[in-house]
């Protein structure tokens, strides 16, 4: 078989696989978010409570990558909850903690800072920055991202609702070894001067 024919066949097969994988149904989080946001009612907040939630949240995630993180996260979250961190969605603490255990093995040197905390009724809006070293495919990459988490707590001050708003494309995907180059090629970041 000629080189040109091999390339053509490979291109057709690769294009078909990409097309088929793009057709896979991935549910939108919007409906789940809307339902959980209406169904899960937290305590009504004031400025001091919103700031306290932000400080506790940041303090917990500042310990990510250490042995104490799982214990602190266990105290931070209620047993039944809604959490969407933009990459994953959870409805119970047990599964969330298993996810955190996996994260804990891949990150080191985590620094989380509280930028601001505000509130509306029962939702605290926590604006944060996070820097960390991420291990993948035998390499470690330093990363940094910014985000806002909408958080509701129960009377025991445990998180029952959390929706993270951050940009995983620039905060994670583009920086990953191997994958980042492909991601940047498919969806290049553009910046005007």
Q: Where residue 127 sits, what CATH number does that domain have?
A: 3.10.450.50
Structure-block tokens of residue 181: 């180059």
Three-class DSSP category at 27 = coil
Angle, alpha carbons 156-99-186 (nearest 5°): 125
The answer as to whether 88 is a domain residue is yes
Helix 68-76 vs helix 47-62: angle between axes, to the nearest 10 degrees? 150
Domain with 37 in it: 30-170
- pTM (predicted TM-score): 0.75
Tell me what pLDDT residue 78 has. 98
Domain assignment of residue 50, yes or no? yes
pLDDT of residue 173: 47
Spell out the long-range contacts of 59-62 with Cβ–Cβ below 8 A and sequence spacing 24 or more.
61/110, 61/112, 61/128, 61/130, 62/110, 62/111, 62/112
**What pLDDT is attached to residue 189?**
47
CA distance 136 to 180: 12
- Whether residue 49 lies inside any domain: the answer is yes
Is 171 strand, coil or helix? helix
Within a domain: residue 21?
no
**What does each of the 193 residues of the chain score in pLDDT, given as a tens digit?**
566 666 666 665 555 555 555 555 555 667 877 888 889 999 999 999 999 999 999 999 999 999 899 999 999 999 999 999 877 899 999 999 999 999 999 999 999 999 999 999 999 999 999 999 988 777 788 888 899 999 999 999 999 999 999 866 554 444 555 554 554 545 554 545 6
- Which pLDDT does position 183 carry in this prediction? 44
E strand or H helix that includes residue 130 = strand 123-136
Beta bridge partners of 130: 112, 145
Domain for residue 115, yes or no? yes
Inter-residue contact 142 to 133 (CB < 8 Å): yes
Q: How many domains does the chain have?
A: 1
* In-domain check, residue 4: no
CB 108, CB 132: distance < 8 Å = yes
152 within some domain: yes
Assigned domain for 14 exists: no
């Amino acid at each position: 078989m000629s080189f040109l024919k091999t390339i053509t066949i490979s291109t057709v097969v690769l294009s078909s696989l990409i097309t088929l994988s793009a057709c896979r149904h991935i549910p939108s989080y919007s409906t789940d978010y809307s339902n959980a946001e209406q169904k899960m009612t937290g305590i009504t907040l004031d400025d001091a409570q919103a700031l306290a939630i932000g400080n506790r949240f940041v303090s917990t995630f500042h310990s990510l990558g250490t042995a104490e993180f799982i214990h602190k996260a266990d105290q931070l979250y209620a047993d039944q909850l809604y959490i969407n961190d933009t990459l994953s969605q959870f409805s119970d603490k047990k599964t969330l903690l298993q996810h955190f255990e996996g994260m804990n093995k891949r990150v080191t040197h985590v620094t989380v800072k509280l930028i601001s905390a505000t509130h509306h009724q029962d939702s605290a809006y926590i604006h944060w920055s996070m820097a960390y070293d991420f291990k993948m495919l035998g390499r470690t990459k330093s990363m940094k991202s910014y985000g806002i988490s909408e958080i509701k707590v129960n009377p025991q001050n445990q998180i029952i609702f959390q929706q993270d708003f951050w940009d995983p494309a620039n905060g994670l995907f583009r920086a990953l070894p191997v994958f980042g180059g492909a991601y940047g090629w498919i969806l290049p970041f553009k910046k005007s001067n």
